Structure 1
């Protein structure tokens, strides 16, 4: 008998992890994309955002979202669904609902009444065509549908009427979040382009809310589609994308009203921007994941859990937050989960507890002494065999927040008697050391997304160790067969309660084995003005982040009187 599960919103949705996508049964979601224009004729004439394309490739006209230098990859081609990175709610988009008919069969129901921007009807065949194109041209499989990454590969994708059915070769629940992000292409256009990765798309035909108004190589002007399938929810008539601004210029542009929103880093946004006009100037740095201290677990003493735990105890995360983020981002939970948004995933043993490892130098030193890392005549600690060691903390040059964090960590290590120093290197050099495993300590990002198997799990899975060519998530080289089994089981699990239990086992690894040490939450930045538009995500209404701009466009309304 199939189990029908209603979609849960808010923090509880995080407890479903892949489970909202993986329950054996049908999930009916609400049919709209959120709030938006009031429908009484009021509009937002124009908003200006930074360009989506890097300055060094500005001038290229290519709207292919598979291109690394797409002029825009947000506003033309749409996904099946949008999952809020904050509350994990799944919002229907080109698909209105989905059903796991079995553990290996996923069925999407396609929205009626959608047209492509050239007037042709959008159909289930367009979805099947797009997904099968990723099989024919593996370079286009940006969602991992046809490979074995976090779940079994697809065997077939077929369309019939208003449904699309995906048959997998095995358990594939953890593929859901990436699958629903696939940008859907029109078969009547893209069926003739050959390799989609190589296609230069100068005149996009999409289902999205905008069409190209003009582009002069610097400024892209998008015009609202009157026939967009949810046009009544899009109040913005014209969207201007221009400029690649540094923090100083962005703050000036925002203050002058020449820029309405910005996603880059502005140090101390409260002082630099919000305080200048508290009525109109706002920011929200939502937690997207965690910045973590990564040990090279293949080298002594970092292969010793007692050493790692002591280090975690002796690092001042409050000071790191203050120095790196001006206190905007809170110290991160050692669980690896994004709290409080995923608090319902916490196992009973940690529920209601402060899972940020407290700063206690004296306790850290006691732990190091007890573990055999004694101080030598020079005051610095040696390895357990008496060998001197002086670890290098590798940090990317120009990454101001990472450099500030590294300075505090190294000072904390020296206070504990560890002869550590900072080694500043170009970002590409740091990536190379991640690939070859030649490092002692460095900082990394741990994604806080809703698919725990793909995020926390990838940081701990042995098949995610970097290769000579690719930086995968398990940079520290945590190798543990039991952990691998947990991640594999979680990747295919369809029952929410079982998912929570398995997530709890990964939390236990983080809390007791310290494969990485979490420092502070990493931000998804959103800095904005409210003189032209209201309805932006905020701490009070955390419905999404800058990763969900399509959804945000349906929530923006003209400012209230």
Structure 2
């Protein structure tokens, strides 16, 4: 699965209704909520037993690219921040697999309808300079996006996936955001906002450009040292949940390719890694099954994406036909060594989202089977006949050619497309692969100058913002921006469903609305689901145990703060 670069995928937000309590969340409803007790089998796993002794040091890859190494900046809004994880904390953390919530700087929350959201802010938290965290800090952090639109990463102050906020108020320990209309689908983005110290940041004229060299955060670590290459973080003894954090020093160093990472992991120079290592079972686990482990949680879905503005791809019968003839098991083997399994055509991440499945699909195998004969029958019936040259033509007899564009150097994508093009050719479709620089592929997505590409369908907890964003007409790419709806699905009924789902907090209504989107995926084939895309965790257990696994899927690699509170010393 080696690729030119490691790509990360943001997890999509979800709205819930709950009662705000002290230290406890009582969940009642959510927009497209996903829950499950079912876990996928793990290729290997580490013991969750351990001791309360401190772990002297863990080493992980640097968060910042090497080409900006040496620039000291901890501003969480900067693309080149040395770390965005360990200093500035969020209000809450949600597990993107089972959507369970962990209170963090907020102990609880409640929705009033879908237009007013109140958080209860935790008492007793101190900033690293000794001053107390207050609800005013939270209000200040939320208000920053109103003053500086570039900092509105949660979309609180715009109308994307829910109505914009009108104000943020503080009453006692509560911080309330009032919206101009339904804003339920903004929830996960809001809980992920980094909370900043007002007493420091209110003195900064332009927080967008601010170079933060001395971070004052609520997080579990402070800066120990940085030499331009290696960032050493040191545990805060006065952290508000210091009893749960056992890592004394955390070293963030290096950007590793697959070969380097495998060597470092096997030698003990790295304790965990999130990038791609081809065949991690053989390259890593088999070398020491007692200490070496990996778990690739399903983060979303890799989807075949046609250009719906062009013939023959705008024909649903054509899309249905080729979707039946794709060998997803071979794609899994070629692209991921069989680690990531074929994905459901529903767009839902199964089995984690089984509770959202419409009744008509609940008992069916929604992974489209590989059936070339059926695909050819459907193509024949739709008028795409085989011509004298052995290749199919359009119904009007004109040549039918397919260029599948793929990012050069993204090896797993190249392997996937190799299988797909061979499958298309087996259906007597004149298909070929066109490798292009990733920036050029992005340009084609913006201009709709492509036939087929591979895309990612988000698999987080907010269905309105994963399947929804893939199908919403306002998410069609612009001339300057790649957005989720690369295939350019444009249907008013779908837009209406997504709008309703974005503002719904009623579970029964949510399931009905999700069902409408699932039906679109299953009957219209706007994109074709291939295999689940991974959130990778490759780790050693000689120093620390308690890493997430299929047996204990409490977090993914995007939840390192939460992981830090679960790790225990192996000694």
User: TM > 0.5 between the two?
Assistant: yes
TM-score normalised over the length of structure 2: 0.93
| 2:484 aligned with 1:490 | no
- Alignment correspondent of 1:384: 395
Which digits, 9 at most, give the CA deviation of each residue in 1:34-81, with x for residues without a partner?
A: xx9999851111100000000111111100110011110000000000
Displacement after TM superposition at 1:27 (Å): 4.8
SS in 2 for 1:546: coil
TM-score normalised over the length of structure 1: 0.94
Task: Give the conservation status (yes or no) of the 8 Å contact 1:63–1:70.
Answer: yes
SS in 1 for 2:56: coil
Distance in 1 (alpha carbons) for counterparts of 2:259 and 2:479? 38
In the alignment, which of 355, 365, 372 is matched to residue 361 of structure 1?
A: 372
| 2:336 aligned with 1:325 | yes
Distance in 2 (alpha carbons) for counterparts of 1:461 and 1:502? 14
Q: Which has the higher contact order (CA 8 A, sep 6+)?
A: 2
In the alignment, which of 447, 450, 475 is matched to residue 436 of structure 1?
A: 447
- Alignment correspondent of 1:517: 528
* Consecutive unaligned residues in structure 2, runs of 5 or more: 1-11, 26-46
SS in 2 for 1:420: strand
Deviates more, 1:271-280 or 1:187-196: 187-196
* Consecutive unaligned residues in structure 1, runs of 5 or more: 1-16
Displacement after TM superposition at 1:525 (Å): 0.4
Deviates more, 1:40-49 or 1:75-84: 40-49
| 2:91 aligned with 1:98 | no
Cα distance change on mapping 1:52 and 1:240 into 2, 3 Å? same
- Alignment correspondent of 1:11: none
In the alignment, which of 203, 206, 216 is matched to residue 227 of structure 2?
A: 216
Distance in 2 (alpha carbons) for counterparts of 1:452 and 1:416? 33
Task: Give the conservation status (yes or no) of the 8 Å contact 1:46–1:239.
Answer: yes
Please tell me the root mean square deviation across aligned C-alpha atoms, in Å: 1.6
In the alignment, which of 7, 15, 19 is matched to residue 26 of structure 1?
A: 19
Distance in 2 (alpha carbons) for counterparts of 1:427 and 1:483? 30
Task: Give the conservation status (yes or no) of the 8 Å contact 1:37–1:43.
Answer: no
SS in 2 for 1:374: coil
| 2:190 aligned with 1:149 | no
Task: Give the conservation status (yes or no) of the 8 Å contact 2:49–2:546.
Answer: no
Task: Give the conservation status (yes or no) of the 8 Å contact 1:29–1:92.
Answer: no
Which digits, 9 at most, give the CA deviation of each residue in 1:106-149, with x for residues without a partner?
A: 10000000000000000000000011111001111111110010
| 2:432 aligned with 1:421 | yes
SS in 2 for 1:46: strand
In the alignment, which of 206, 213, 216 is matched to residue 202 of structure 1?
A: 213
Displacement after TM superposition at 1:353 (Å): 2.1
- Alignment correspondent of 1:258: 269
SS in 1 for 2:108: strand
Displacement after TM superposition at 1:90 (Å): 1.0
SS in 2 for 1:65: coil
Distance in 1 (alpha carbons) for counterparts of 2:363 and 2:221? 46
Displacement after TM superposition at 1:18 (Å): 7.1
Distance in 2 (alpha carbons) for counterparts of 1:30 and 1:285? 31
